[in-house]
Amino acid sequence: MAYTLPDLPYDYSALEPYIDEQTMRLHHDKHHQTYVNNLNAALKDHPELSELPVEDLVRQLDKVPEGIKKAVRNGGGGHANHSLFWKLLSPHFDTAPEGALRTAIEQRFGDLEKFKQQFTEAALSVFGSGWAWLVKDNAGELKIVTTPNQDSPLSDGLFPVLGLDVWEHAYYLKYQNRRPEYVEAFWHIVNWHEAARLFDSELAETGSKK
Protein backbone atom coordinates (compact mmCIF):
# COMPACT_ATOMS: atom_id res chain seq x y z
CA MET A 1 0.00 0.00 0.00
CA ALA A 2 1.59 3.25 -1.14
CA TYR A 3 1.59 6.54 0.71
CA THR A 4 -0.46 9.30 -0.90
CA LEU A 5 -0.60 13.08 -0.83
CA PRO A 6 -3.37 14.34 1.48
CA ASP A 7 -5.67 17.08 0.24
CA LEU A 8 -5.33 20.53 1.71
CA PRO A 9 -8.09 21.19 4.27
CA TYR A 10 -8.79 24.59 2.64
CA ASP A 11 -8.40 26.32 -0.73
CA TYR A 12 -4.95 27.18 -2.03
CA SER A 13 -5.74 30.88 -1.70
CA ALA A 14 -7.36 30.62 1.75
CA LEU A 15 -4.28 31.79 3.66
CA GLU A 16 -3.74 34.99 1.69
CA PRO A 17 -2.36 37.55 2.28
CA TYR A 18 -0.09 35.69 4.69
CA ILE A 19 0.79 32.81 2.37
CA ASP A 20 0.02 33.26 -1.31
CA GLU A 21 -1.79 30.80 -3.57
CA GLN A 22 1.21 30.19 -5.81
CA THR A 23 3.38 29.20 -2.85
CA MET A 24 0.70 26.84 -1.52
CA ARG A 25 0.32 25.13 -4.89
CA LEU A 26 4.06 24.71 -5.29
CA HIS A 27 4.63 23.66 -1.70
CA HIS A 28 1.77 21.15 -1.52
CA ASP A 29 1.49 19.82 -5.08
CA LYS A 30 5.19 19.71 -5.93
CA HIS A 31 7.38 19.60 -2.82
CA HIS A 32 5.13 17.45 -0.62
CA GLN A 33 4.32 15.17 -3.55
CA THR A 34 8.05 14.67 -4.14
CA TYR A 35 8.54 13.50 -0.55
CA VAL A 36 5.69 11.02 -1.00
CA ASN A 37 7.13 9.78 -4.30
CA ASN A 38 10.61 9.37 -2.85
CA LEU A 39 9.28 7.53 0.19
CA ASN A 40 7.29 5.10 -1.95
CA ALA A 41 10.31 4.50 -4.17
CA ALA A 42 12.54 3.79 -1.17
CA LEU A 43 10.07 1.26 0.24
CA LYS A 44 9.13 -0.51 -2.99
CA ASP A 45 10.88 -3.70 -1.85
CA HIS A 46 9.66 -3.43 1.76
CA PRO A 47 5.86 -3.70 1.71
CA GLU A 48 5.75 -4.48 5.42
CA LEU A 49 7.12 -1.01 6.17
CA SER A 50 4.71 0.61 3.72
CA GLU A 51 1.84 -0.69 5.81
CA LEU A 52 2.85 1.50 8.75
CA PRO A 53 1.24 4.93 9.24
CA VAL A 54 3.92 7.41 8.25
CA GLU A 55 4.23 8.76 11.80
CA ASP A 56 4.94 5.23 13.08
CA LEU A 57 7.47 4.75 10.32
CA VAL A 58 9.51 7.80 11.33
CA ARG A 59 9.20 6.82 15.00
CA GLN A 60 10.79 3.47 14.20
CA LEU A 61 13.66 4.34 11.90
CA ASP A 62 15.80 1.78 13.72
CA LYS A 63 13.70 -0.91 11.99
CA VAL A 64 14.46 0.47 8.51
CA PRO A 65 17.27 -1.26 6.59
CA GLU A 66 20.46 0.77 6.56
CA GLY A 67 20.56 0.99 2.78
CA ILE A 68 17.29 2.95 2.59
CA LYS A 69 17.27 4.62 6.00
CA LYS A 70 18.39 8.03 4.75
CA ALA A 71 15.79 8.07 1.98
CA VAL A 72 13.06 7.00 4.42
CA ARG A 73 14.18 9.56 6.98
CA ASN A 74 13.99 12.32 4.39
CA GLY A 75 10.91 11.19 2.48
CA GLY A 76 9.01 9.90 5.49
CA GLY A 77 9.90 12.93 7.57
CA GLY A 78 8.89 15.23 4.75
CA HIS A 79 5.56 13.46 4.38
CA ALA A 80 4.81 13.38 8.10
CA ASN A 81 5.93 16.96 8.71
CA HIS A 82 3.93 18.43 5.84
CA SER A 83 0.81 16.34 6.54
CA LEU A 84 0.83 17.91 9.99
CA PHE A 85 1.80 21.38 8.80
CA TRP A 86 -1.24 21.79 6.53
CA LYS A 87 -3.54 20.99 9.45
CA LEU A 88 -1.76 23.48 11.70
CA LEU A 89 -2.58 26.37 9.36
CA SER A 90 -6.03 27.94 9.31
CA PRO A 91 -7.94 30.50 7.23
CA HIS A 92 -9.57 31.65 10.48
CA PHE A 93 -7.08 34.39 11.22
CA ASP A 94 -5.72 35.73 14.50
CA THR A 95 -7.05 33.12 16.90
CA ALA A 96 -5.40 32.15 20.19
CA PRO A 97 -4.86 28.92 22.12
CA GLU A 98 -7.43 27.99 24.73
CA GLY A 99 -7.95 25.38 27.40
CA ALA A 100 -5.22 23.05 28.60
CA LEU A 101 -2.77 24.11 25.88
CA ARG A 102 -3.08 27.79 26.80
CA THR A 103 -2.54 26.94 30.46
CA ALA A 104 0.48 24.78 29.68
CA ILE A 105 2.05 27.47 27.49
CA GLU A 106 1.60 30.09 30.20
CA GLN A 107 3.03 27.79 32.87
CA ARG A 108 6.03 26.81 30.77
CA PHE A 109 6.88 30.10 29.05
CA GLY A 110 5.30 32.79 31.25
CA ASP A 111 2.67 33.98 28.78
CA LEU A 112 1.67 33.60 25.15
CA GLU A 113 3.78 36.52 23.91
CA LYS A 114 6.91 35.16 25.57
CA PHE A 115 6.25 31.79 23.96
CA LYS A 116 5.83 33.39 20.54
CA GLN A 117 9.08 35.30 21.02
CA GLN A 118 11.02 32.15 21.95
CA PHE A 119 9.48 30.13 19.13
CA THR A 120 10.25 32.92 16.65
CA GLU A 121 13.86 33.04 17.82
CA ALA A 122 14.11 29.28 17.33
CA ALA A 123 12.66 29.51 13.81
CA LEU A 124 15.08 32.26 12.87
CA SER A 125 18.02 30.33 14.31
CA VAL A 126 17.62 27.40 11.92
CA PHE A 127 20.60 27.48 9.57
CA GLY A 128 19.58 26.56 6.06
CA SER A 129 16.55 24.30 5.85
CA GLY A 130 14.56 22.86 8.72
CA TRP A 131 11.67 23.27 11.13
CA ALA A 132 10.79 24.91 14.44
CA TRP A 133 8.52 22.95 16.77
CA LEU A 134 6.55 23.13 19.96
CA VAL A 135 6.61 19.57 21.24
CA LYS A 136 5.45 17.54 24.20
CA ASP A 137 7.94 15.14 25.74
CA ASN A 138 7.17 11.82 27.37
CA ALA A 139 6.57 13.57 30.70
CA GLY A 140 3.93 15.79 29.07
CA GLU A 141 6.12 18.90 29.29
CA LEU A 142 6.25 21.46 26.50
CA LYS A 143 9.51 22.52 24.91
CA ILE A 144 10.66 24.34 21.79
CA VAL A 145 13.04 22.45 19.49
CA THR A 146 14.33 22.71 15.95
CA THR A 147 15.10 19.94 13.47
CA PRO A 148 17.29 20.09 10.34
CA ASN A 149 16.09 19.19 6.86
CA GLN A 150 12.96 16.99 7.12
CA ASP A 151 13.83 15.30 10.40
CA SER A 152 10.74 14.69 12.53
CA PRO A 153 10.51 15.18 16.29
CA LEU A 154 8.75 11.82 16.31
CA SER A 155 12.10 10.18 15.59
CA ASP A 156 13.37 11.60 18.89
CA GLY A 157 10.36 10.41 20.90
CA LEU A 158 8.75 13.85 20.97
CA PHE A 159 5.11 14.66 20.10
CA PRO A 160 4.64 17.68 17.80
CA VAL A 161 2.04 20.19 18.91
CA LEU A 162 2.94 23.06 16.57
CA GLY A 163 5.39 23.22 13.70
CA LEU A 164 6.71 25.78 11.25
CA ASP A 165 8.45 24.92 7.99
CA VAL A 166 11.37 27.30 7.45
CA TRP A 167 12.66 25.78 4.23
CA GLU A 168 12.93 28.55 1.65
CA HIS A 169 10.38 26.80 -0.57
CA ALA A 170 7.77 27.56 2.12
CA TYR A 171 8.09 31.33 1.74
CA TYR A 172 10.57 32.48 -0.90
CA LEU A 173 8.10 33.44 -3.63
CA LYS A 174 6.43 36.01 -1.37
CA TYR A 175 9.04 36.89 1.22
CA GLN A 176 12.32 36.19 -0.64
CA ASN A 177 15.06 36.14 2.02
CA ARG A 178 12.91 37.87 4.65
CA ARG A 179 12.31 34.91 6.92
CA PRO A 180 11.36 37.14 9.90
CA GLU A 181 8.36 38.47 7.95
CA TYR A 182 7.25 34.95 7.09
CA VAL A 183 7.50 33.86 10.73
CA GLU A 184 5.51 36.90 11.82
CA ALA A 185 2.83 36.04 9.23
CA PHE A 186 2.63 32.50 10.61
CA TRP A 187 1.14 33.73 13.88
CA HIS A 188 -1.90 35.06 12.01
CA ILE A 189 -2.77 31.65 10.54
CA VAL A 190 -2.06 29.15 13.31
CA ASN A 191 -4.77 26.53 13.78
CA TRP A 192 -4.77 26.58 17.57
CA HIS A 193 -7.71 24.19 17.68
CA GLU A 194 -5.63 21.50 15.99
CA ALA A 195 -2.63 22.29 18.19
CA ALA A 196 -4.83 21.88 21.27
CA ARG A 197 -6.12 18.57 19.95
CA LEU A 198 -2.58 17.32 19.51
CA PHE A 199 -1.60 18.51 22.96
CA ASP A 200 -4.55 16.70 24.51
CA SER A 201 -3.90 13.45 22.64
CA GLU A 202 -1.72 10.76 24.15
CA LEU A 203 -0.19 9.99 20.77
CA ALA A 204 0.86 12.44 18.08
CA GLU A 205 -1.60 11.53 15.35
CA THR A 206 0.10 13.96 13.02
CA GLY A 207 -0.71 12.86 9.54
CA SER A 208 -2.70 10.53 7.41
CA LYS A 209 -1.86 7.55 5.27
CA LYS A 210 -4.55 6.80 2.71
Would you say 193 is a known binding-site residue? Answer: no
Would you say 200 is a known binding-site residue? Answer: no
Would you say 31 is a known binding-site residue? Answer: no
Would you say 27 is a known binding-site residue? Answer: yes
Bond into 53 cis (ω within 30): no
DSSP track, the chain: ----PPPPSS-TTTTTTTS-HHHHHIIIIIIIHHHHHHHHHHTTT-HHHHTS-HHHHHHTGGGS-HHHHHHHHHHHHHHHHHHHHHHTB-SS-S----HHHHHHHHHHHSSHHHHHHHHHHHHHH--SSEEEEEEE-TTS-EEEEEEETT--GGGGT-EEEEEEE-SGGGTHHHHTT-HHHHHHHHTTSB-HHHHHHHHHSSS-------
The annotated binding site is made up of 27, 82, 165, 169
The annotated binding site for Mn(2+) is made up of 27, 82, 165, 169
